Chains A and B, each alone.
Chain A
Amino acid sequence: MHADSAEMKGVKARIVAFLPRLRRFCAVLARSEDRGDDLMQATVERALTRIDQWQPGTSLESWMFRIAQNIHIDEARSQARRGHTADIDEAVSLAGDDGRIIVEGRSELERARLAMAALPEEQRALMSLVVLDGRSYKEAAEILDIPIGTVMSRIARARQVIDRKLHGERKVDD
């Protein structure tokens, strides 16, 4: 695809319309808006330089979500090799013994953001795709390259964790 072709302009217009969703996905993955923007930038750059690998007729958006996820994983691995651990998010240390986030003075929305940030990597990506972005299990499975059964179990576990973070542990049989 030539950089100035009408086809390329169409692709760029689609990417622009998709940017807000990509930006949100990246911010959730990276657990911060700044790092998320870096991830988004890297994703768009890679998509534009490898646009020939995208097959028209398939979802450009799913392809870009997958690129973002791959870049994020690569980055996390390379940080680990360099001896950096991923940022221990404030959210984790804010969790009380009963799993509830100690949030005096914090708004409900902040609590929700912290609960999301406290999720493990793979659950965070799924929650972002399914709950925030409304992707189906099948689409999410394709984007993250995991079986659909794994999507179902991970999304259920993630929701259990979020529920505990927001409302505390509940008795099972009352």
Chain B
Amino acid sequence: MAKEKLMTDRAETIAAYLDGSLTGEELQRFETEMQADARLAADVRQWQANDKLLRAAFPLAKNGVDNAMLERLGLAEPKMPPVAAYDNRWNWGRIGLAGGAIAASLAVAMVLFQPEEEGLERDPQFQVAMESLPSGQSATLVGGDALRPVLTFRAGDGRFCREFSGEKTGGGIACRSGRLWTVEARSARGAATVDSGEIRTAAGSDPAALDAAMDRLGASDPLNAEKEILLISVGWKE
């Protein structure tokens, strides 16, 4: 019986250690014990690896949450307004285009393609993508664009932020606060090119514009993939 009790206590302590529930003296005592007891340290490592395996076995966005499902759940915006109708004042200030016919054409292209910030944030798939997609994977927005998180970093004020990029949406940075992702910066989207008489906008972001925003936000180095997946898995809670 005594041995069983000991085993139970030990299991509870290992679990509490792994779950961040040991603090102060308890934590110190346990870490000292681990240094002296190789078997205990091995058990801790094995349970830690088990946890990691479980998290990998139940990834957050295995099948995504598609628009049909959002509609079924009564969570989809009933109808997105046509993209061309969006007000684009925010971007005008940053685009700073020179005059001229080509510039005017480009501006029209950008107005057509670039939704306002609120529109992007209100796109449920944007929120899902920011919340649950590892960098490099893409999701289709309600507005139709394929958008992917590019990297994740920590802002100076402690928020987690992600750079994103979309074919039509362009590049940007969104930060998480109040469990929602808010767009902090948008790039003017890379240089537009004229190809076979058609104006085409370059996909992806304008790194210089986003670098400035990262400086303003006091960005940390990008988080590595493992840390990013862990944060996604636990709902961005440390």
Residues of A near any B CB (own CB < 8 A): 9, 12-21, 23-24, 27-28, 33, 37, 40-41, 44-45, 48, 60-61, 108-110, 112-113, 115-116, 127-128, 130-134, 136-137, 152-153, 155-157, 159-160, 162-163, 166-167, 172
> Nearest-CB distance from A142 to chain B (Å)?
15
Smallest CB gap from A19: residue in B: B65
Contacts of A44 in B (CB 8 A): 73-75
How near does chain B come to A30, taking the closest CB pair, in angstroms?
13
| Interface SS of A by simple majority | helix
Question: What is the total number of residues of chain B having a CB less than 8 Å from a CB of chain A?
Answer: 48
In the bound complex, CA of A99 to CA of B39 (Å): 21
Q: How far is the CB of A19 from chain B (nearest CB, A)?
A: 5
Task: Name the contact of A157 in the complex, choosing from B3, B11, B62, B63 (C-beta under 8 A).
Answer: B11
- List which B42-72 residues lie within 8 A (CB) of chain A: 46-47, 50-51, 53-58, 60-65, 69-70, 72
Interface residues of B (CB under 8 A from A): 3, 7-8, 11-12, 14-16, 18-21, 46-47, 50-51, 53-58, 60-65, 69-70, 72-75, 122, 124, 127-128, 130-132, 179-181, 233-235, 237
Are B131 and A20 within 8 A (Cβ)?
yes
CB neighbours of B235 from chain A (8 A): 18, 21, 61, 133-134
Q: Considering only CB atoms, which chain A residue lies closest to B43 in the complex?
A: A163
Distance between A120 CB and nearest chain B CB, rounded to angstroms? 16
Question: Are A112 and B54 within 8 A (Cβ)?
Answer: yes
> Would you give the shortest CB distance from A67 to chain B, in whole angstroms?
13
Is B53 within 8 A of A108, CB to CB?
yes
Q: What residues on A are CB-neighbors of B64 within 8 Å?
A: 20
Determine which residue in B58, B128, B130 has the highest number of CB atoms from chain A within 10 A of its CB, and name it: B58
Contact partners of B7 in chain A: CB under 8 A? 172
Contact assessment for B60 and A137 in the assembled complex, using a CB-CB cutoff below 8 Å: no
Given A13-B180, A19-B128, A136-B20; A131-B65 close (CB under 8 Å): no
Look across to chain A and name the residue whose beta carbon is closest to the beta carbon of B73: A44
